[in-house]
């Protein structure tokens, strides 16, 4: 992790790759990938396991837009497998023994590096020849070249892994939550439909622009509520710049402070009925957004707030649009899914969902004839450890 001046300069470079003009360039690429994914789901004869499929879709977007790599379906599946297993071992004891979580995580990280090496070498040659494919990695490498800096192979590898990890893990979690909540709230889907109809964007094959997506007020409210109700990451940490007191406890200067994003949202005094999924809480007339700076912390805050937050929200908006104007969907099981919370939020059983193209009637589904229920017995996760149920207060001087 970069710190101090190095972090500030690196963040400044990356932020340019997520400005309005850059996001406008990314929209057609992202929309095409999501369109293909939704069409594939609608064409499935059996329920689609949304969680793994959302991971593949988000990885495909991250690979194309963030690092400019083109992969076959087989490569995407393999790389998603490698990243999934690396992430599984993130929260492991720092003990490097055969079969330990740390050893497994390092094994999969090495496999990722080896797989990416050829792509990175081609990217370096392309950039050295003056090429710019418009992706985030090209922007970072060209900026370094223009400044007379030379990025080492290890620095490029680390950047690629960081971009791919940050660009698909949390987004796939949020995409899965979006599909789940809308399956449970048909009246919300109807309002999204009305939002699209109001702006003349109901045609399935109609290309979208960033400006058009920005006009979809209700779609934005839905995405914001998904991120409030199901933040992909449970918490984070910061370092106290000076000693302070909170809840009767003293926190000395220099201590690491863990905070819970989910508990902050749920314990907030700003949100009425915070346990409910209610996009209308974000309507322009009654929006709680101006009051929620310290109560809605999905993307963190301060100098270390998520630099790609607008990119992530744009993906979710595009997915919401493509789903609503192409299909209808419902959960394949009668009960709510058991949720896991580490390292990110995801449904334990994969979230089987039945997708039906608009214009075709949904057929009854016989669960007894399908394999997806014949899995090992699922265990309910009681939730991740509570890190710190704290709403950020203005008078707490914590380094963000």
Tokens found for residue 48:
């689609």
Determine contact, residues 49/352, Cβ cutoff 8 Å: yes
CA 156 to chain centre: 22
CA distance 304 to 120: 27
The answer on whether 306 is annotated among ligand-binding residues is yes
Please, are residues 246 and 376 in contact by the beta-carbon 8 Å criterion? Answer: no
Q: Are 327 and 41 in contact (CB under 8 A)?
A: yes
Instruction: Kindly state the DSSP code that residue 339 receives in the 8-state scheme.
Output: E
DSSP 8-state code for residue 65: I
The answer to whether the CB of 259 falls within 8 A of the CB of 251 is no
| Residue 23 CB partners (closer than 8 Å, separation 6+) | 210, 310, 311, 314
Residue 31 main-chain phi, psi, to 5 deg? -65, -40
φ, ψ of residue 335 to 5 degrees: the values are -110, 160
Task: Give Cα separations from 89 to 16, 75, 82, 92, 386 (angstroms).
Answer: 32, 22, 11, 6, 20
| C-alpha neighbours within 13 Å on the C-beta side of residue 61 | 32
Binding-site sequence positions = 306
Binding residues for heme: 306
């Amino acid at each position: 992790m970069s710190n101090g001046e190095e972090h500030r300069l690196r963040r400044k470079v990356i932020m340019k790759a997520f400005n309005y003009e850059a996001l406008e360039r990314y929209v057609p690429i992202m929309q095409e990938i999501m369109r293909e994914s939704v069409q594939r789901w609608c064409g499935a004869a059996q329920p689609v396991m949304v969680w793994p499929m959302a991971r593949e879709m988000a990885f495909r977007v991250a690979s194309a837009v963030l690092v400019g790599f083109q992969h076959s379906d087989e490569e995407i599946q393999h790389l998603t497998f490698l990243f999934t297993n690396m992430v599984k071992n993130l929260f492991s004891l720092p003990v490097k023994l055969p079969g330990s979580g740390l050893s497994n995580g390092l094994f999969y990280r090495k496999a990722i590096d080896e797989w990416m090496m050829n792509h990175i070498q081609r990217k370096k040659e392309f950039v050295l020849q003056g090429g710019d494919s418009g992706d985030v990695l090209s922007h970072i490498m060209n900026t370094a070249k223009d400044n007379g800096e030379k990025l080492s192979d290890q620095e490029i590898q680390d950047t690629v892994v960081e971009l791919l990890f940050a660009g698909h893990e949390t987004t796939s979690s949020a995409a899965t939550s979006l599909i789940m909540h809308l399956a449970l709230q048909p009246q919300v889907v109807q309002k999204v439909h009305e939002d699209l109809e109001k702006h003349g964007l109901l045609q399935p094959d109609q290309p979208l622009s960033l400006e058009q997506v920005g006009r979809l007020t209700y779609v934005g409210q839905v995405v914001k509520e998904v991120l409030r109700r199901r933040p992909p990451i449970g918490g984070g940490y910061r370092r106290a710049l000076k000693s302070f007191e909170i809840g009767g406890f003293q926190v000395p200067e220099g201590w690491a402070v863990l905070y819970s994003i989910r508990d902050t949202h749920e314990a907030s005094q700003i949100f009425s009925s915070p346990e409910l999924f209610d996009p209308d809480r974000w309507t322009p007339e009654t929006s709680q957004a101006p009051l929620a700076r310290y109560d809605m912390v999905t993307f963190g805050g301060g100098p270390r707030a998520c630099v790609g937050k607008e990119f992530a929200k744009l993906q979710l908006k595009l997915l919401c649009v493509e789903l609503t104007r192409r299909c209808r969907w419902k959960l394949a099981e009668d009960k709510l899914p058991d949720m896991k919370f580490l390292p990110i939020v995801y449904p334990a059983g994969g979230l089987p969902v039945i997708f039906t193209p608009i214009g075709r009637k949904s057929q009854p589904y016989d669960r007894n004839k399908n394999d997806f229920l014949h899995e090992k017995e699922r265990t309910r996760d009681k939730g991740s450890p509570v890190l710190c149920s704290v709403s950020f207060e203005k008078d707490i001087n914590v380094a963000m």
